[in-house]
């Protein structure tokens, strides 16, 4: 585990203080819901600022150093007491791409933090090539489209053209809070219709997600063990 990393948050079963909205007021992305007097975090929106942990009077939140977090649906990303978001193996994707996966990355409003973490996957520290996973320059060579950023309006056509240039079978990975939910830019100059039509097979939360979040997520999806 990366020491000091503000990664996977866990929430306790402790009831909220009566009438308290401290975490809701602080959360920059409305990632927290209070249901039946207990807190839940939607990791699809969370930007891991840690403010909820700092302000909660009953210490309901704790950010751990665990980078292993992800989901195959948006619902998987909601953290409640005693649950953690995990990526289950996808039988079909595992059969097709389990031994070789080529990725095309498109940043559509990404701030270059997600992009740098994805680039880091190819450095000597993370070295995903050893798993048969590789970045490719041409969409023609790609099996998966890894999207970062909230999907700006100005990248709408470029994202579609990249996807259409990729041969079947193919799938989408949403990397980071912006790509998953719009993140901090939900009210921004964005157009998320593409993700409505092409539901990602894998969601990797974080702002930005740690490279190990990607490694764990993709290996779990493909059943590599």
Partner 1 sequence: MRALAVDRVASWLPELGWRDWLASPEVGRPVAVFGRNAGDGRVELTAVLDHGVDGLAVVATRVAAGVPQPSLAAAAPGLAGFEREIHEQCGIAYVGHPWLKPVRAQGADSAAAMDAYPYYAVEGKPVHEVAVGPVHAGVIEPGSFRFQCHGERVLHLEIQLGYQHRGVERLLLAKAPGGLERAVPLVETVAGDSSVAHAIAFCLALEAQEPVSAEVALSRGILLELERVGIHLAGLSGMAADIAHLQAAAGYGRLRTVVINASMRLCGSRFGRGGVRPGACGYALDAEGRAGLANAIATLKHDLPAIDERFFGDLAVRRRFVGVGVLDMKRATEIGMVGLCARASGVRVDQRIGGIYEQFPLPSTTAATGDCWAREWLRMREIHESLAWLARVLEGQPGWARGPRTAFSPGRSRLCVGVAEGCRGEVVYALETDAAGDVVQVKVQDPSFRNWMGLQVAVRDNEIADFPICNKSFDLSYCGHDL
- Binding stretches for partner 1 (CB under 8 A): 2-6, 26, 28-29, 47-50, 63, 105-120, 123-125, 135, 137-138, 149-150, 152-158, 161-162, 178, 183-185, 187-190, 207-208, 210
- Beta carbon of residue 203, minimum distance to partner 1 (angstroms, whole number): 19
Contact 130, 169 (CB under 8 A): no
Which residue's CB is nearer to partner 1, number 149 or number 205? 149
Cα–Cα distance measured from residue 9 to residue 62, given in angstroms and rounded to the nearest whole number: 5
Contact 89, 223 (CB under 8 A): yes
Distance of CA 160 to the CA centre of its chain: 20
- Beta carbon of residue 95, minimum distance to partner 1 (angstroms, whole number): 27
- Nearest residue to 59 (alpha-carbon basis) of 22, 104, 106: 22
- Nearest residue to 218 (alpha-carbon basis) of 111, 109, 65, 100: 100
Which residue's CB is nearer to partner 1, number 72 or number 104? 104
Which residue's CB is nearer to partner 1, number 88 or number 136? 136
- Beta carbon of residue 32, minimum distance to partner 1 (angstroms, whole number): 14
- Beta carbon of residue 167, minimum distance to partner 1 (angstroms, whole number): 17
Parallel, antiparallel, or unpaired for β 32-35 and 61-63? unpaired
CB-neighbour burial class of residue 87 (10 A; exposed 0-12, middle 13-18, buried 19+): buried
Which residue's CB is nearer to partner 1, number 111 or number 202? 111
Which residue's CB is nearer to partner 1, number 152 or number 201? 152
Which residue's CB is nearer to partner 1, number 115 or number 220? 115
- Beta carbon of residue 130, minimum distance to partner 1 (angstroms, whole number): 14
- Beta carbon of residue 82, minimum distance to partner 1 (angstroms, whole number): 24
Q: Which residues, other chains included, contact 175 with Cβ-Cβ below 8 Å and sequence gap of 6+?
A: 114, 118, 146, 147, 148, 204, 208, 209, 214
Cα–Cα distance measured from residue 68 to residue 220, given in angstroms and rounded to the nearest whole number: 10
């Amino acid at each position: 585990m990366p020491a000091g990393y503000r990664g996977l948050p866990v929430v306790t079963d402790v009831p909220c203080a009566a009438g308290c909205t401290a975490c809701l007021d602080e959360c920059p992305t409305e990632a927290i819901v209070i249901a039946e007097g207990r807190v839940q975090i939607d990791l699809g929106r969370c930007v891991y600022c840690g403010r909820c942990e700092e302000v909660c009077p009953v210490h309901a939140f704790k950010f751990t150093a665990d980078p292993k977090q992800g989901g195959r649906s948006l619902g998987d990303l909601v953290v409640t007491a005693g649950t953690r978001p995990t990526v289950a193996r996808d039988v079909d994707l595992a059969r097709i791409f389990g031994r070789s996966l080529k990725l095309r990355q498109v940043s559509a409003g990404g701030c270059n933090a997600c992009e740098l973490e994805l680039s880091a996957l190819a450095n000597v520290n993370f070295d995903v090539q050893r798993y048969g996973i590789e970045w490719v320059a041409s969409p023609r060579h790609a099996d998966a489209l890894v999207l970062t950023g909230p999907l700006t309006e100005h990248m709408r056509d470029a994202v579609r053209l990249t996807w259409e240039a990729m041969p079947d079978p193919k799938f989408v990975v949403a990397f980071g809070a912006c790509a998953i939910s719009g993140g901090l830019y939900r009210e921004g100059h964005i157009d998320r219709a593409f993700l409505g039509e092409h539901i990602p097979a894998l969601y990797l939360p974080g702002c930005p997600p740690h490279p190990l979040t990607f490694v764990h997520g993709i290996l779990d999806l493909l059943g590599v063990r």
